[in-house]
């Protein structure tokens, strides 16, 4: 377990205040605006440590960027993300879990893990588009 430094505490506190996913760069800019002297490399390292510990969700966007948010659920879950506004909903996926296990077993694999993110347009953004 890593020691909780002032910088790590600042990153964790910032994540507590954010309801949506943010990139490491966005989080770094927020910290600087708050007056926290935390380097970008420290932000990346802290986010990696928090992700490995299951304390933050990591979302990979369609263009490959990693976004982070304080994890709201401890059990395995997926995200449904609006392409327009970035709103993310945590969802269960029992059908996906069963399918992943079956595909792995059919090919002789065990201890199957996966990451699935679903992207679409939320109702609010769709209504704006239709207006």
Q: Which residues are annotated as a binding site for Fe cation?
A: 76, 97, 114
Distance CA 94, CA 83 (A): 24
Express the helix, strand and coil content of the chain in percent, nearest 5 each: 45, 20, 35
**Tokens matching residue 72:** 């709201």
Which residue in 33, 11, 36, 13 sits closest to 24, CA to CA? 11
Residue set of the binding site: 76, 82, 85, 97, 114, 122, 125
Residue set of the binding site for Zn(2+): 82, 85, 122, 125
21: exposed, middle or buried (Cβ count in 10 Å: 0-12, 13-18, 19+):
buried
């Amino acid at each position: 377990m890593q020691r909780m430094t002032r910088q790590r505490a600042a990153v964790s506190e910032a994540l507590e205040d954010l309801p949506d996913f943010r990139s490491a760069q966005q989080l770094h800019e927020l910290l600087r605006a708050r007056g926290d002297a935390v380097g970008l490399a420290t932000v990346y390292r802290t986010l990696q440590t928090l992700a490995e510990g299951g304390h933050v969700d990591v979302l990979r966007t369609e263009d490959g960027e990693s976004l982070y948010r304080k994890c709201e659920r401890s059990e395995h879950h997926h995200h449904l993300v609006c392409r327009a506004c970035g709103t993310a909903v945590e969802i269960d996926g029992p059908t996906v879990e069963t399918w992943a296990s079956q595909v792995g077993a059919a090919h002789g694999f065990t201890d199957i893990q996966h990451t699935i993110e679903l992207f679409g347009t939320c109702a609010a953004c769709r209504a704006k588009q239709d207006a």
